[in-house]
Amino acid sequence: MKKILLCLLLMTFSIYALAQSNFIDVVYLKNGNVLRGKIIEQEVGKYLKIQLDERNILLFNSDEIIEIAKEVVVDHDEPDTSEQTIEKNFPRGYQGIIEIGYIATAHGLDNGLLKAQMINGIRFKRLSLGLGAGIRYDVGSRFRPYIPVFLDIRTRFVPRRVSPFVALGCGYTFYPNYEGGLYLSPSLGISFKLGSKFGIHMALSYELLGYRPRYMDLDDGYLGISLGLIL
């Protein structure tokens, strides 16, 4: 279980670093100049063309070049709140979310739950509403899986490709052969827009899974981490 959680954490930080950064080409010349831009054409051992901006394109022979590298540029631009930008980053219509994760229990990381769920909904700019269903399963025990069915509401805060968000899932927990109970899951995370129609997110959440075995009311609360694919 610890290995699963470690993999999720490593994937989370890697995704965050890539989403926050852009890469540019760096060309080091023998005359001491260093050029930063985008290599648009290159024939190894002969020449390369580098575009410095929208107008300037330079050509160099390979014998003029010492080294070619890439450099990370972190995106610190201020968010654009224009209506056009908001519409571009918060397109209206269908939104599907496939999510996997790991949930730690009060008994430690080795006694946690694997999490998988699907949410289908509609996006209204910053706000989205959907219906979701999933499974929570303890692979180290013989207990039956929890099956939450819930209403999902979430909102993103800024119209950028990287944006924090909050979400709330509220519904019912089915527990085979027992009476179910309340399902409640607030979460906080970061979403990354990777294309015009898809993205990913990472989130920390609290999950309340209620059920009633043998005439006793139990409400188990868990903390979890998850990664999601946004369609």
Render 123-138 in DSSP notation, one character per residue: EETTEEEEEEEEEEE-
pTM for this model (two decimals): 0.61
Q: pLDDT band at residue 24, thresholds of 50, 70 and 90?
A: confident
- Tell me the average pLDDT across 92-102: 88
Model pLDDT, residue 113: 81
Residues 108-142 have pLDDT tens digits of 555 678 889 999 999 887 789 999 999 988 766 66
CA 166 to centroid of chain Cα atoms: 13
Torsion of CA 15, 17, 22, 27, to 10 degrees: -120
CB 182 within 8 A of CB 103: no
105 has a pLDDT exceeding 90: no
Question: Do the beta carbons of residue 112 and residue 138 sit within 8 Å?
Answer: yes
The residue that leads in pLDDT, 98 or 179, is 98
Domains defined along the chain, listed by start = 20-74 (2.30.30.100), 87-213+220-230 (2.40.160.20)
The token duo for 182 is 């309340």
Residue 179 has a pLDDT of 78
* Gap between the Cα atoms of 105 and 173, Å rounded: 17
| Distance (Å, whole) CA 158 – CA 69 | 33
Question: pLDDT at position 226, please?
Answer: 84
Residue 57: its pLDDT value, please? 87
- Which residue did the predictor score with more confidence, 80 or 67? 67
pLDDT at position 73: 63
- Least Cα distance to 96 among 115, 125, 122 occurs for 122
- Comparing 55 with 79, the larger pLDDT belongs to 55
pLDDT greater than 60 at residue 12: no
Q: Which pLDDT band, with edges at 50, 70 and 90, does 103 fall under? A: confident
pLDDT, greater one: 144 or 56: 56
Please determine, for residue 4, whether its predicted confidence score (pLDDT) is greater than 50.
no
Task: State which of 81-90, 151-160, 221-230 shows the largest mean pLDDT.
Answer: 151-160
Question: Residue 71 is encoded by which pair of tokens?
Answer: 């450099």
- Across the chain, mean pLDDT equals 77
